[in-house]
Amino acid sequence: MDQKTFISDADKALATLIWACLENDSEAKNIISSKENIAFSSPKAATNGTRKLSLFLYNITEGKTTSSPAFVLHYLITPSTGNDKDDHVLLEKIINAVLTIPLAVSSSDEHKVGLTVKLDSLTLEELTNLWISLDVTLRPSVGLAVSASEPQYNSQTQGIIATQAPQAPTVDPEKVAQLYQAVLKTFTEQSNGWKNRNMVVKQWVFQEFKKSTDMSVDEMNAALDSLGNRLEQHGTTTQFIKPLTQLALYYQHQLDQLKGMQKVSRNQGENLETLNKWIKEVMDLAEALSSRP
């Protein structure tokens, strides 16, 4: 991928990866039926016509590869299907795709570079300012940072495929353990609190959780326990990225509901910050797991 065409190549590669993920998923295909439903315009403009997914490049910053200066492209990925549940489904599948599938760019030029994709977590203030500047009501979305990475080259072939992680970065086991303990503590305290509520409230919360995650509370607890065992045994953990993504989407659902209130009290403002913290911890853990061997 040529530096001169970095933005257009990144647009194309990102859209291709996302569409390939959605096209082969029967549930997602019922929501987005064509690559033409994907737009590169802002979330506000993308709601017009048949556009149902916005891949909006809202900022470009300077970064570096190991060999030369480069740029980091900051995208805001926003579904606009008109149905909150469908929006959440798309976000779940997109996040899972970019965390588990290498973003590949093919070329016959060995000096060209590929792409690396990471979740781009914004603070509550940054996120609020971004949506205000777009003049759009805040919607469920995810930020992605796309930057150059070193290529892999095989002289036996006619081309080059630069992947998301040519050499997997070293993941600090202690950092992963800290993230895991934070996520486990939060959800354990939440689920225990839910179970101690009266029957009507408990049933409603459990139904909302199941609706948002396609998992029961007990299933999520079991998944987190299993993840802890795998980390202790130094086993593979990629299968836990999806449950973590679903948990983050549930917290995002709670965040959206709180933000939807006409007036937010001081205590509710603190809850917004807490939910953003929980979302970041879960997604940081998912990203760390995707980098483990």
Q: What is the pLDDT of residues 246-270, one digit of tens each?
A: 898 888 878 777 666 545 455 556 7
Residue 166 has pLDDT above 60, yes or no: no
Q: Which of 104, 151, 101 is nearest to 10 (CA)?
A: 104
Its pTM stands at 0.54
Q: Which residues 6+ apart lie within 8 Å of 78 measured at CB?
A: 43, 46, 53, 54, 56, 139, 140, 141
Residue 3 has pLDDT above 80, yes or no: no
Predicted confidence at residue 131, as pLDDT, reads 86
Q: Which helix (H) or strand (E) holds 79?
A: strand 69-79
Instruction: Report the chain's mean pLDDT, rounded to a whole number.
Output: 78
Q: Which residues 6+ apart lie within 8 Å of 290 measured at CB?
A: 99, 100, 238, 241
Separation between Cα atoms, residue 117 and residue 13, nearest integer Å? 11
pLDDT band at 223 (very low <50, low <70, confident <90, very high): very high
Number of helices (H), then strands (E), belonging to the chain: the values are 10, 7
Q: Which residues 6+ apart lie within 8 Å of 286 measured at CB?
A: 95, 99, 119, 241, 244, 245, 248
Predicted confidence at residue 155, as pLDDT, reads 39
Q: Which CATH architecture describes the domain 173-291?
A: Up-down Bundle (1.20)
CA distances from 198 to 171, 194, 195, 204, 293 (A): 43, 9, 8, 10, 44
Residue 154 has pLDDT above 70, yes or no: no
Tokens of 86: 């469908």
Separation between Cα atoms, residue 15 and residue 107, nearest integer Å? 18
- pLDDT one-digit tens code per residue, 84-140: 888 888 888 888 777 666 555 544 444 445 677 888 877 777 888 888 888 888 888
Residue 32 has pLDDT above 70, yes or no: yes
Separation between Cα atoms, residue 213 and residue 97, nearest integer Å? 17
pLDDT band at 225 (very low <50, low <70, confident <90, very high): very high
Largest CA distance in the chain: 67
Separation between Cα atoms, residue 250 and residue 279, nearest integer Å? 9
